[in-house]
Amino acid sequence: MKSNPFYFLSLAAFGLAGCTDESPVVPDLSTPVISDLALTPNSKIEPYNGQIFKSDWNSIPFYLKVSDPEGVQEVEINVKPAFENQLQSQYADQFELLNTNEIFNKDRVDPKMNMTFGGEDVNFDPYTIEWSGTYSVAELPILAGPYEVVVDATDVNGNKTSLEDSTSYQTTVFIDRWYAPLIYRPYGLPSSVSGISGSELAMDGGILKTTDPLSSPLKFIWVKLVDKDVIEDYKGNANQTVFEERIWGESVVFEKSGDVLPPMIEYPDNVIELTFNGLFESDPIVLPDGKGDLSLVVWAEDEAGNISRKVFPIEVN
């Protein structure tokens, strides 16, 4: 029996057709998604932008979820100072800046939390980065001030979030410390201050150098009366209207300087106060016409580089 060459050609053609009918493999190019834990309708990622960690806190808690349908391979959390030049050399043996880069993956052994990588979700509920205590990432007391937080994630195919395409999570937080300048209103008074348009701003309270051994003298004061608070206004080009601005002393972190700091009140135990009314006595802040709710932003630095920032609501009648 002779073989039919057309029979074999037909089989070959059928085989080729079968191969070409297969769907092409689409490469995974999507990055992981960083989101809130969705525990409540109003839940959000923490730390959130502008979050303030008061002086009795010793950590930043992270509440967030990282998701990827192909699997999450790694999560990276970076916390760094907003100002690299904040720590002054003469105080370098007393303080440090909070600066850490934490990488979480299947190889990490962490006594604080057990995480499983390779699946679709990784939850931080919460995970804390601490600056004192057993798990502290700092060896010395940290400087108070603004810190920048960035969270990145990589999936099992190597796709990584980035700041360039806004897939990273980025925020700015403020850390208060008890040895930093204390910006305050007297106990029992509301944080808001009322005044009449066209009149001079008068408010009780001030800025203190505290009794803490790590507290250092005041060096720089920056006060702004603005239409709204913008936590990153120190970077410039903020979307806010500035009605009045005053500067005293010389900044540790900015190229800003102003008049000499006014005389301060000295109390027992080395407490030193610069009152608001004393600051504004020679150059008062006048409340503008036609404006209702404003904000007074007070920024204070000490010689060590600690930065304090507080916002007081101003009601203009």
d(CA 138, CA 60): 13
Which tokens is 6 given? 């057309």
DSSP state of 254: S
Burial of 37 (0-12, 13-18, 19+ CB in 10 A): middle
Average pLDDT over residues 262-270: 88
- Selection from 302, 312, 31, 90 nearest residue 176 by Cα: 302
The pLDDT-based confidence of 20 (bands split at 50, 70, 90) is low
Domain borders along the chain are 33-175, 182-232+240-316
Q: Give the pLDDT confidence of 66-94 residue by residue, as tens digits.
A: 999 999 999 999 999 999 999 888 898 99
Average pLDDT over residues 185-202: 92
Specify which residues 298 forms β-bridges with: 223, 310
Ranges of beta strands (E only) in 109-205 are: 121-130, 145-155, 169-175, 182-184, 193-195
Which tokens is 194 given? 């009322």
Domains 33-175 and 182-232+240-316 share a fold: yes
**β pairing state of 52-53 and 169-175:** parallel
Q: Would you state the pLDDT for residue 168?
A: 98
Among 3-17, 154-168, 230-244, 248-262, the range scoring the smallest mean pLDDT is: 3-17
Q: Which CATH class is domain 33-175?
A: mainly beta
Statement: residue 41 has pLDDT above 70: yes
CA 188 to centroid of chain Cα atoms: 30
Average pLDDT over residues 140-164: 97
User: 277: phi > 0 → left, psi -120 to 50 → alpha, else beta; which?
Assistant: alpha
Q: Would you state the pLDDT for residue 22?
A: 67
Among 13-17, 24-28, 149-153, the range scoring the smallest mean pLDDT is: 13-17
Would you call 277 helix, strand, or coil by DSSP?
A: helix
Three-class DSSP labels, 13-67: HHHHHHHHCCCCCCCCCCCCEEECCCCCCCCCCECCCCCEECCCCCEEEEEEEEE
Q: Would you state the pLDDT for residue 40?
A: 81
Statement: residue 13 has pLDDT above 50: no
> Residue type at 259?
D
Helices and strands in the chain, H and E counts = 2, 17
Mean pLDDT of all residues in the chain?
A: 90
How many percent of the chain have pLDDT more than 90?
79
Average pLDDT over residues 249-264: 93
Which tokens is 131 given? 């600056």
CATH superfamily of 182-232+240-316: Macroglobulin (MG2) domain (2.60.40.1930)
Statement: residue 3 has pLDDT above 70: no
Q: Would you state the pLDDT for residue 272?
A: 92
Between residues 292 and 276, the one the model is more confident about? 276
